[in-house]
Structure 1
């Protein structure tokens, strides 16, 4: 299947017309890329000063992978006049950072390449940081978003930041803003199922998908009420298989009546190819779908759903405690931990031990 997809894609996939508008990163994806090209990134580490502390080496490794990815997209970025070719670069550890730390790290990432979109988690501190970064002309991808309340906070932060930028004469012509609704993670969160069982509600897989679509439609309704340049980006898209072995993807087939962007993983691309081969290509929904009343009644009996569905369902100080947010944050943390282990293993290797020997001399101490 991978070979088949490779044949379908243009030889120069980063050129206009290739249908690929950009790419995204996060600590898990970056750690996977580093492990997949270990020799290359060991060379990067071995080229750093021996006195550089481990945490600085991890940051340098992280930045290097972003620079290399952004460089591949630069031709598309330039030829499309900045409409496409963006790389979303996530702030590692951003879920626990305060506003000032997020702003500082965001500016560092933005300086790596002209086509960097800073990816910031949807915590209360994250939205304060988004306002400050937007005010400085940065492009933003708000990640770890699971509720209409977070979307509302993000749109307000973008609006306030743009007002400040315009008042200070900052050029916003090139800036872009997206909000990443991790739709597939919302319904699959363990807490959702736990609450249903606690309330003796039979929550089916179909109910979970309806819950995700309900929140998606509520988000789109909010965006329609606002005059915003931001766009909704669906990610964590899932494919389901029914009892007859047929594959479906509600996240692609039952969305799209409003302008929607999508993050497509290799697995989703393979699914799209399989459906096209079978003569049943995936098409977006031409209109909104009504949530069945019986399903909505069940969902409204769960605080997990209400907090995501209703504007004001979550207070700002609850954003980073939302269960799906915590799960995503833990995944990001594990990605960073893998990078730390890679750096540690590289430093403990035979080549680095030899190079590091002078650190114990008096000359090194004076230096």
Structure 2
């Protein structure tokens, strides 16, 4: 089946066709206001952010944010670099959330959400994750909070859900992590129901970072000297995403799967048609539209069984990601893609600290 649109006379951009004609929701993997406004024109009804994305957005408009950081330093004279940097992330998120609020109202909270990620430096502290998640949820009515899908993060996800926070589980690559996230959210919602608390205004999602899973499998295979058809790796994240989505649908979880970390257009075109979220970076949105990638529903088209069999037999790390019981919760944080991504997010935090330091205490 071709991944490119047939000549049908439909002149709508590929993203807009899919957003209007399928059950799949387009979110944008950016918090930059200008990019998000364009994405909304393409049909985007939500947005996600993480430390790497936030740092890029700040650097993209550095004169503005440098001036604002100096103002914040004057307003909060005892605040350190980290605190000032996170105040900027909060302001960036609030501005992006405002662009999505009309959709949030229209869809009664299902979409129109802006994700803000908890500080990755808190990943070892359950209570700190919960407290920051609760704080972030007060920044705007349509905030959804990212918590990593580690063992500590799963505990924090349940508690934050119980406290009324809509969740976007992140640093998540495997079917096992996705199921653990969904079950934690169910427990949190059930605890609320037992106490007569509202459970209707949640819009929780569980991200699977398909492209980052592909990256890890390629690196792991190369380190082990494993050779298979290199194109097979491009289907690994898609396979995990499809499987997780079908499990969520079968079990009636009150959480949607979200596809993120794009490495190829399959992570868009192969997932269309299901009640899930696909969140391409803005640059990928432009490429999808420019190449008129098909918006035909393909969520129920299985990945070639030969590809699944080959990955399972040849690449042990794939089974950890694809099998529901492939990764015990105690090993979530030690999975290669998890460790790599946590380190990248921690590095982005350190870079933000350094950027703020150079603004408020410039070198001689």
TM range (shorter): 0.7 to 0.9
CA contact (8 A) 2:123 2:153 kept: no
Q: What is the CA-CA distance between 1:18 and the residue it aligns to?
A: 5.8
Q: 1:265 aligns with which of 278, 281, 293?
A: 281
Q: What is the CA-CA distance between 1:16 and the residue it aligns to?
A: 8.6
Q: Secondary structure at the match of 1:300?
A: helix
Q: What is the CA-CA distance between 1:12 and the residue it aligns to?
A: 11
Q: Partners in 2 of 1:14 and 1:73 — Cα distance?
A: 12
Q: Which residue is equivalent to 1:77?
A: 104
Computed over aligned residues only, the root mean square deviation of the Cα atoms, in angstroms, reads 2.8
TM-score (norm 2): 0.82
Question: What do residues 4-39 of structure 1 show as CA deviations (whole Å, max 9, x unaligned)?
Answer: x9xx9xx99599986110111111111111122223
Distance 1:284 1:236, change over 3 A: farther
Distance 1:12 1:262, change over 3 A: closer
Q: Partners in 2 of 1:55 and 1:272 — Cα distance?
A: 36
Greater length-normalized contact order (CA 8 Å, ≥ 6 residues apart): 2
Q: 1:195 aligns with which of 215, 221, 228?
A: 221
Q: Which residue is equivalent to 2:65?
A: 41
Identify unmatched segments of 5+ residues in structure 1: 240-248, 354-367
Q: 1:127 aligns with which of 135, 154, 159?
A: 154
Q: Secondary structure at the match of 1:41?
A: helix
Distance 1:19 1:296, change over 3 A: same
Q: 1:62 aligns with which of 85, 89, 94?
A: 89
Aligned residues: 330
Q: What is the CA-CA distance between 1:65 and the residue it aligns to?
A: 1.6
Q: Partners in 2 of 1:210 and 1:176 — Cα distance?
A: 28
Q: Which residue is equivalent to 2:305?
A: 292
Q: 2:50 aligns with which of 19, 23, 26?
A: 26
Distance 1:217 1:95, change over 3 A: farther
Question: Is 2:215 the partner of 1:172?
Answer: no
Q: What is the CA-CA distance between 1:78 and the residue it aligns to?
A: 2.7
TM-score (norm 1): 0.81
1:228-307 superposed matches below 5 A: 228-239=253-264, 249-256=265-272, 258-276=274-292, 281-285=294-298, 287-293=300-306, 296-307=309-320
Distance 1:214 1:18, change over 3 A: closer
Question: What do residues 131-187 of structure 1 show as CA deviations (whole Å, max 9, x unaligned)?
Answer: 011112211101111111111211110111011111122212211111111111111
Q: What is the CA-CA distance between 1:310 and the residue it aligns to?
A: 1.1
Q: Secondary structure at the match of 1:83?
A: coil
Question: Is 2:236 the partner of 1:211?
Answer: yes
Q: Partners in 1 of 2:70 and 2:144 — Cα distance?
A: 29
Identify unmatched segments of 5+ residues in structure 2: 1-12, 17-34
Question: Is 2:351 the partner of 1:338?
Answer: yes
Question: What do residues 33-80 of structure 1 show as CA deviations (whole Å, max 9, x unaligned)?
Answer: 112222322332222222223332222222222222212222332344
Question: What do residues 203-260 of structure 1 show as CA deviations (whole Å, max 9, x unaligned)?
Answer: 2332112322332232123213312111111111223xxxxxxxxx222232335333
Q: Which residue is equivalent to 1:325?
A: 338
CA contact (8 A) 1:14 1:72 kept: no
Specify the structure having the higher radius of gyration (Cα): 1
CA contact (8 A) 1:147 1:215 kept: yes
Question: Is 2:211 the partner of 1:184?
Answer: yes
Q: What is the CA-CA distance between 1:322 and the residue it aligns to?
A: 0.8
Q: Secondary structure at the match of 2:291?
A: helix
Q: Partners in 1 of 2:66 and 2:349 — Cα distance?
A: 16
